[in-house]
Amino acid sequence: MVFHSIRLNAATGFFESKKFNNFAGSVGLGMIIDDFNGDNFDHTDLDFIHGGMIILGQTGLRPIANNAVPSGTKSWGAEFKEASIKYSNAYLSVKGEGASMAYRQHYIDLDPTYTDDFGDPLARITFDIEEQDRQLTKFLAEKCEQILLEMGADHVDTSRELGPYNVAEYQSTHNTGGVIMGADPETSAVNNYLQMWDCDNLFVVGAYAFPQNAGYNPTGTVGALAYRAAEGISKYMETGGQLVSK
């Protein structure tokens, strides 16, 4: 079971003399740099593997849901109101989204206590933030901060810390894994057609098959896996049986 080593708004820069029209934009508008993803950079003296992408998006921010003010500003009263108005169009947030590695101690099982309306056990997730995630998050956050300073931000608030994981505060998204793909039925649940090793006529389509979670959103890969599963289902309809030799 893996999530994203993700930091929404890892660094937020406030500008005294620039305006960005944050109210304008669209869901897909933004820029991504890949310089610190995967093995695109030197990992010497770093305490993590892999990496992540850095994003600056202009998605059309709503004034109440996205009301950033510099750290140290009171959370109510005249000072808060003044800062909210001043910076509503004068701040930018840069986000880092990193890869998440799989660990044996992260898994899904059947809950021994809670059941659904039919009396079947609910799925239970056991997961926490690891030191790998913390080190990667810190690294990406510092890069986000550097970008904003180079852009001329007068004040930058940076979120370098991550975890421990809890469900009360949004920390990560895109849960993947749990029914992982592999070449060996002893260490995986589905083959490369997303066909279950133990049930020939069952294909499990989705991000469940991810052995790891890369430094991107999983959407494109899920689409590719759907094509692969469709190819497998077509072959199965013709020949039946297991499509990959065990």
Predicted confidence (pLDDT) per residue in 201-244, tens digit: 999 999 999 999 888 888 899 999 999 999 999 999 999 999 99
**d(C-alpha 59, C-alpha 28), whole Å:** 7
- Name the residue among 159, 129, 106, 142 with its Cα closest to residue 5: 129
Assess whether pLDDT exceeds 70 at residue 8: no
Structure tokens at 196: 């279950």
Active-site residue (options: 4, 50, 106, 174) = 174
Chain mean pLDDT for the chain: 92
pLDDT confidence bin for 166, thresholds 50/70/90: confident
* pLDDT of amino acid 5: 60
Which residue would you say has higher pLDDT here, 26 or 188? Answer: 188
Q: Which residues contact 198 (CB under 8 A, 6 or more apart)?
A: 185
Query: Is 4 among the residues known to form the active site?
Result: no
- Name the residue among 246, 112, 126, 245 with its Cα closest to residue 178: 126
* Average pLDDT for 92-109: 91
**d(C-alpha 153, C-alpha 30), whole Å:** 18
